[in-house]
Amino acid sequence: MVELATLLTRCRRRDDLAWEALVRRMQPRVYGTALHLLRSPEDAREVAQDVFVRLYRNLAGLEFSDETQFVAWLLQTTRNAAVDRIRQIRSRPPRADVPAEEAGLRDALPSPEEASLAGDRQALVQRALAELSDLNREILVLKEIQGLDVREVAEILHIPQGTVKSRASRARLELARRVLALDPSYGA
């Protein structure tokens, strides 16, 4: 597999094949992060596309000392784009007279029964994750799911590192409780 640094160098020289390879390699993480934050596959796809377009336009001016820094930048951009999208969604006037299913607002994630019956424990965790507060979910997505370290998460979210540490522990505990509430046999 071609190293990420090599791909980035080639992309800066406008090598279209290298750009395609970079998109293919990073799209699951970018889309995954957007999906966990937005909880809507459609919005997540749009946000992920915007992130790649932004990356493409800024490639020449971006410099990364290593792969980790590039991933952190990409996830930060994804998080910011997702937050902007959430603000847009919240600022839309409510469509009170339209049933949620008709308005396309039905949660795309599986219901607890669906997730439990399918034995899909990951989907169960995903659903429980969606029930957390925005900040707790962001911390878990960046730290526990995407594996960023405490310093990087603190920088992305503009909060102290101590807050990230304590919040991450509490958020995991809360997540475990919510998963148990959805499926008491979880972890048994």
Tokens 């796809």 map to which residue?
A: 45
Q: How far is the CB of 21 from another protein (least distance, A)?
A: 10
**Considering beta carbons, is residue 82 or 125 the nearer one to another protein?**
125
**Rounded CA separation 72/151 (Å):** 11
From the list 13-21, 80-88, 89-97, 155-163, the region that binds another protein by CB under 8 A is 13-21
Give me the 59-98 binding string for another protein, x by CB under 8 A, dash otherwise: xxx-------------------------------------
Tokens of residue 133, six digits: 């507060």
Minimum distance, C-beta of residue 183 to another protein, in the bound complex (Å): 9
Six-digit token string for 154: 């603190």
Q: Which residues bind another protein (CB under 8 A)?
A: 14, 16, 19-20, 23-24, 27-29, 31-32, 35-36, 41, 44-45, 48-49, 52-53, 56-61, 121-122, 125-126, 140, 144-147, 168-170, 172-173, 175-177, 179-180, 184, 186-188
